[in-house]
């Protein structure tokens, strides 16, 4: 009977210790004090902005990369047969950067190749600008979020040392908890947001480069088409 009571008491003590060690994310944020809450809220806003830009751009880039495999073959047939209006109509009906570049080229058929090439390059510059819209903001978030987190770390350490100085160096660990919480939670939050934004930025850059390569390849194919003997 005594052994059973001791075992029960031991289990209760272990359970209480386990409960004391359990700390939710919300508690971690709240226990950091006002400074920690403000900085983490700023980081949450930056995270929302980063996620919105990432998904908005990824869908836009995915849509821009879609093009019919027979598109350039159809353009070639129309141009070789002198059906320039049909080629322009096909480009207008195809919503993609490649189609818009090709339309610029078709509209200038009959002019020197240098003029056609310049028109395609200028149109390509505009299309790349559209693809990269707001991507620089994602890069800014990737760099700013860790810095904001480190700012919270500095503020938290200042609060902790101020508490120690105010108590003449006799402050207990419990009284330093607010400053330490602020330092640790903001650092982690800033790094998490920065890492997510950085990965998203690099992924968008890779996807954009693929679309740009597709545009360049089709532009070269179109210029080669104009150089073919009739």
The predicted-structure confidence for 199-229, as pLDDT tens digits, reads as follows 999 999 999 999 888 888 888 888 877 776 5
Question: What are the tokens at 94?
Answer: 């195809």
> Would you state the pLDDT for residue 197?
94
pTM of the model as a whole: 0.75
Query: How many folded domains does the chain comprise?
Result: 1
Residue 113 inside a domain? The answer is: yes
CA distance 97 to 215: 7
Would residue 16 count as lying in a domain?
no
Domain span including residue 100: 26-227
Long-range contacts for 40-45 (Cβ within 8 Å, ≥24 apart)?
A: 40/152, 40/185, 40/186, 40/189, 42/148, 43/145, 43/148, 43/149, 43/186, 43/189, 43/190, 43/193
In a domain, residue 39? The reply is: yes
The answer to whether the CB of 144 falls within 8 A of the CB of 35 is no
Cα(188)–Cα(121) distance, integer angstroms: 45
- Residue 12 included in any domain: no
Cα–Cα distances (Å) from 229 to 9, 80, 219, 226, in that order, read 95, 9, 18, 8
Asked whether the beta carbons of 31 and 177 are under 8 A apart, the reply is yes
Q: Does 1 fall in a domain?
A: no
Q: Would you say residue 20 lies in a domain?
A: no
Alpha helices for the chain (secondary structure H): 2-21, 25-30, 33-65, 71-80, 84-93, 97-107, 113-131, 135-166, 177-227
127-131, 178-182, 212-216: segment of lowest average pLDDT? 178-182
- On whether the CB atoms of residues 73 and 193 are closer than 8 A, the answer is no
62 falls within a domain: yes
Please give the share of the chain, as a percent, with pLDDT higher than 90: 20
Residue 123 covered by a domain: yes
Handedness of CA 90, 91, 94, 99 (dihedral sign): positive
Residue reference for tokens 């978030």:
141
pLDDT class of 73 with cuts at 50, 70, 90: confident
């Amino acid at each position: 009977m005594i052994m059973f009571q001791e075992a029960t008491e031991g289990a209760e003590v272990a359970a209480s210790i386990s409960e004391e060690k359990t700390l939710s994310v919300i508690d971690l944020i709240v226990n950091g004090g006002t400074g920690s809450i403000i900085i983490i809220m700023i980081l949450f806003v930056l995270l929302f902005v980063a996620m919105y830009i990432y998904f908005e751009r990824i869908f836009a880039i995915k849509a821009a990369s879609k093009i019919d495999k027979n598109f350039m073959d159809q353009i070639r047939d129309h141009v070789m047969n002198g059906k320039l209006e049909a080629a322009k109509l096909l480009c207008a009906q195809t919503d993609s950067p490649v189609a818009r570049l090709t339309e610029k080229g078709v509209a200038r058929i009959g002019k020197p190749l240098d003029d056609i090439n310049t028109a395609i390059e200028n149109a390509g510059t505009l299309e790349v600008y559209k693809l990269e819209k707001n991507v620089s903001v994602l890069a800014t978030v990737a760099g700013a979020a860790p810095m904001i987190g480190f700012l919270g770390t500095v503020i938290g350490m200042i609060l902790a040392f101020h508490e120690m100085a105010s108590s003449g160096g006799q402050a207990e660990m419990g009284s330093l908890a607010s400053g330490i919480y602020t330092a640790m939670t903001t650092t982690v939050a800033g790094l998490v947001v920065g890492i997510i934004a950085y990965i998203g930025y690099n992924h968008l850059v890779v996807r954009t480069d693929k679309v740009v390569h597709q545009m360049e390849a089709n532009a070269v194919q179109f210029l080669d088409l104009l150089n073919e003997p009739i």
